[in-house]
Amino acid sequence: MSKTRNRGAPRKSADKSKSELIQIRVNAAEKQAFADAADLDGKKLSEWIRDRLRRLAREELQAQGLAVAFMAGRFPERQ
């Protein structure tokens, strides 16, 4: 009798899984520059882009005193 093993990482909860897709068009030079920057940072291109977009969105929204949807419940609201 053999046991079956679960393979791979455990499933993420619904609030942590990434199910939405954003598509953008860039030219070859932009894509190469983004890929080079991601490599320097030790990240995959999609991870690097997501990190940068999250940082900029957080900065711009917080500068206007607005809530940041992806940070809900993590930090107290600014007044």
Tens digit of each residue's pLDDT (9 = 90 or more) over 28-43: 999 999 999 999 999 9
Crossing angle of helices 28-41 and 45-63, in 10° steps, is 90
Q: Is residue 2 one of the residues assigned to a domain?
A: no
> Has residue 3 got a pLDDT over 60?
yes
Single pTM value for the model: 0.70
Q: Tell me, what's the pLDDT at 72?
A: 78
- Residue 38's SS3 state is helix
- Alpha-carbon distance 66 to 59, whole Å? 10
Q: Tell me: the pLDDT tens digits for 44-78?
A: 999 999 999 999 999 999 999 999 999 876 655 44
User: 51 lies in a domain?
Assistant: yes
Assess if residue 20 is contained within a domain. Answer: no
CA distance 77 to 79: 6
Instruction: Look up the domain containing 67 and give its range.
Output: 28-71
Alpha-carbon span 59 to 68, nearest angstrom: 9
Examine the pLDDT at 79 and tell me if it is beyond 50.
Answer: no
DSSP state of 3: -
